[in-house]
Amino acid sequence: MRQKLSLIGLVVLLMLSTLTACMGGDSGTAGNNSTVESQQTDNTTATAEAATAQIPDIKSAAELTSFQEAPMLAELVQAGTLEPVEARMPVKEDIMIEPVYEEIGKYGGEWNFPWNGPDDKWGIGMATEEAMFRFTEDGSGVEPNVAKGYDVNADSTEFTIYLREGMRWSDGVPFTADDVVFYWEHMLIPETFSKALYDCYYSVDPVTGEKARADVTKVDDYTVKVTFKHPNVMFLERLAIDNKWFFAPAHYYKTVLPEFIGEQKALEVAKEYGFEDLNTLGMWTGYYYWLYPQRPTLRAWVAKNDMNSDRFIMERNPYFFKVDAAGNQLPYMDRIVLTKMQDPSHKLLETMAGKIEITTFGFTDFTVLKENEQKGDYRVIQWTTPSWSSTGVQLNQTTEDPKLRELFQDIRFREALSVAVDRREISEMITNGLGEPIQASVPEGLPNEQAGWAQQWAEYDTARAEQLLDDIGLKWDAERKFRTFADGSNLTLTIYQEDTADDPRFIELLRKYYQAVGIRTDVKIVDQGSYFDLKYANKIPVSVKSVNIVSLAYRPDELVPLRVITPWFGHYGLFTSSGGKEGVKPEGDVAKILELWDKVKGSKTREEVQEWTDEIVKLHQKNQWVIGYSGPTPVLVVAKNNLRNVPSLVFSDEFRGIGHAHPAQFFLK
């Protein structure tokens, strides 16, 4: 069985393997239209050695003599309503073999999946995602997934992507290069789903800072080329993060987009979907497409009913392009049943009762989950995280209230909120002592780590906090209970927290500490969907959030204001993504971050990437826009004992959470 990957081991591979490979021209690619299954097998040698003897030593599907399918599909084939399995998959040599973690599985059963309804779309979205390129198990780079291979020229300005011949969408229509080019021309560039073109598609002149958009062209039915004006050495890694599904079913969107059917007809379609306007239709069917039965997909499971139902069903895709090493078409499990849960406690109770096959929790639930392991017939697996902290806050540097904005941009105020909190109590009460009482900072062993940062403003010192607040000019009210702005007007911090947050006690502790030094504090708990909308509208002044990234070079979004995504930079991100048409223009050190990111984008060597990303992180250390109160803790993956092929890995957004375990090879034993 695969062993849990340490962050230090991850970093060594990240820095020595990934950047070296991607900056060395076309080394490490699958060239000459060849498949990369052999590369994938090499990457999983340790797994093959540790797995049971029943796993065949197959390096390519071309070696397989036959294919098997799930009984529910075999019945349809026998009835004449579905083609045989061999006819539903890519040509034999292009079928992808998905490595299994423990053993060849068996078909059947359901994955009961707790969720909060459509607002909880990303949980199931990441678990079922099939990206063009995905990160390898050890995080050292990317490997083809929907794509079968790629070539990169010597200066990283041309990326040739090879697709799988004969691959099909979930409705049986062929998947070809036309679906990639269509997505580029009719969805990405015109911002059909209300998202600006992703940063990965731009290259930067290292001398002038000029940004240039890529060109995407069709070479043949199963080959596309992405061409940049300037080198873009990290394109594939950034694509695996920014725009994982670099494709869309052209035949479907030609029936819903106004440019093909006219605005009036498109509005009628929107109303059939329950929307009043075309922008909302485009966003939900283009960006959150996995929730819609009407929209074909390449995923292992596809939506079968209304996502607003109490039980939202996703059922196996008969045209899924992967098999195991024995020739069994994946996935093993027939369907995913998403049942609405009232709140986090409901999810916890259902899990402890043994009614959930696999799900995740924050570490605050560790004790109660471990106490009920035997009774619930499950096991608790700890996944490493690359978080800067387990508890923390972010002050929106572009918050709408001008007085609050000036206060939040004052570094003295951020230091005051940092030293006003007893981190040791936070550590003990919220993380059971496992999250060290330290500042939000790059964890030890990860790229861009800065010596001594973890101790910055980490000492509990209310006298220092009060002195800083006095220096800023925040006055006491007549009762000397709360502080006001210098003009005597009300000063209140409103902290927003999602209702899915791990431990509601943390935000109450913050209120206690902040109010002890005179900062009146309100708390608002909102559902995930409302939080998302408020964030994009710049309506959240303070939020309970941390930073969770493996590498700034991979994922700048939380540290560089490229789009609206992370609370601390608010609408600085909107300014960047809109090309200056909307949002707030970055100034000072935030503007410097964007300048440095252009230098990262224009880098030609590993050393340059390291140099410029270090400079960005040093600006974060200097300003401490993200305040942390306890160090990172593991994510808990809770799996029923009869659910097999579940590993222990690194849990991060870059790797798509539990999706990094490739759930299509989970099975019930």
Does some domain include residue 229? no
Residue 158 and residue 227 in contact, taking contact as beta carbons nearer than 8 Å? yes
Residue 319 pLDDT grade (very low, low, confident, very high; cuts 50, 70, 90): very high
- CA 425 – CA 440 distance, rounded (Å): 16
Per-residue pLDDT at 556 exceeds 80: yes
The letter for the amino acid at 470 is: D
Give Cβ neighbours of residue 80 (< 8 Å, ≥ 6 apart): none
Per-residue pLDDT at 21 exceeds 70: no
- CA 13 – CA 137 distance, rounded (Å): 11
Q: Which residues pair with 151 in a beta bridge?
A: 160
With vertex at residue 226, the alpha carbon angle to CA 224 and CA 232, rounded to the nearest 5 degrees, is: 150
Which pLDDT value is given to residue 7?
53
Q: What is the pLDDT of residues 127-148, one digit of tens each?
A: 999 999 999 988 878 999 999 9
**Mean pLDDT (whole number) for 108-134:** 95
- CA 34 – CA 151 distance, rounded (Å): 10
Which pLDDT value is given to residue 665?
98
- CA 30 – CA 35 distance, rounded (Å): 6
The letter for the amino acid at 368 is: V
Q: Is this model's pTM higher than 0.85 or not?
A: no
Per-residue pLDDT at 33 exceeds 80: no
Q: What is the pLDDT of residues 447-482, one digit of tens each?
A: 899 999 999 999 999 999 999 999 999 999 999 999
3-state SS, residue 281: helix
Q: What is the pLDDT of residues 238-274, one digit of tens each?
A: 999 999 999 999 999 999 999 999 999 999 999 999 9
- CA 252 – CA 187 distance, rounded (Å): 13
Tokens of 269: 């379609």
CB count within 10 Å of CB 634 equals: 20
Does some domain include residue 406? yes
The letter for the amino acid at 213 is: R
H helix runs in 273-338, sequence order: 278-287
- CA 615 – CA 250 distance, rounded (Å): 42
Which pLDDT value is given to residue 501?
62
Which pLDDT value is given to residue 502?
60
Q: Burial, 178: exposed, middle or buried (Cβ in 10 Å; 0-12, 13-18, 19+)?
A: middle
Residue 442 and residue 390 in contact, taking contact as beta carbons nearer than 8 Å? no
141: left (phi over 0), alpha (psi -120 to 50) or beta: left
Give Cβ neighbours of residue 642 (< 8 Å, ≥ 6 apart): 377, 668, 669
Does some domain include residue 84? no
CB count within 10 Å of CB 405 equals: 18
Number of domains the chain is built from: 1
Does some domain include residue 262? no
CATH number where 438 lies: 3.10.105.10
Give Cβ neighbours of residue 6 (< 8 Å, ≥ 6 apart): 384, 445
3-state SS, residue 123: helix
Residue 639 and residue 378 in contact, taking contact as beta carbons nearer than 8 Å? yes
Q: Burial, 449: exposed, middle or buried (Cβ in 10 Å; 0-12, 13-18, 19+)?
A: middle
Residue 114 and residue 350 in contact, taking contact as beta carbons nearer than 8 Å? yes
Which pLDDT value is given to residue 206?
82
Does some domain include residue 604? yes
- CA 7 – CA 101 distance, rounded (Å): 20
Does some domain include residue 324? no
Number of Cα atoms under 13 Å in the Cβ half of residue 47? 28
Per-residue pLDDT at 301 exceeds 60: yes
Range of the domain at 424: 391-630
SS (H, E, C) 79-90: HCCCCCHHHHCC
Does some domain include residue 478? yes
Does some domain include residue 399? yes
Which pLDDT value is given to residue 195?
81
CB count within 10 Å of CB 292 equals: 17
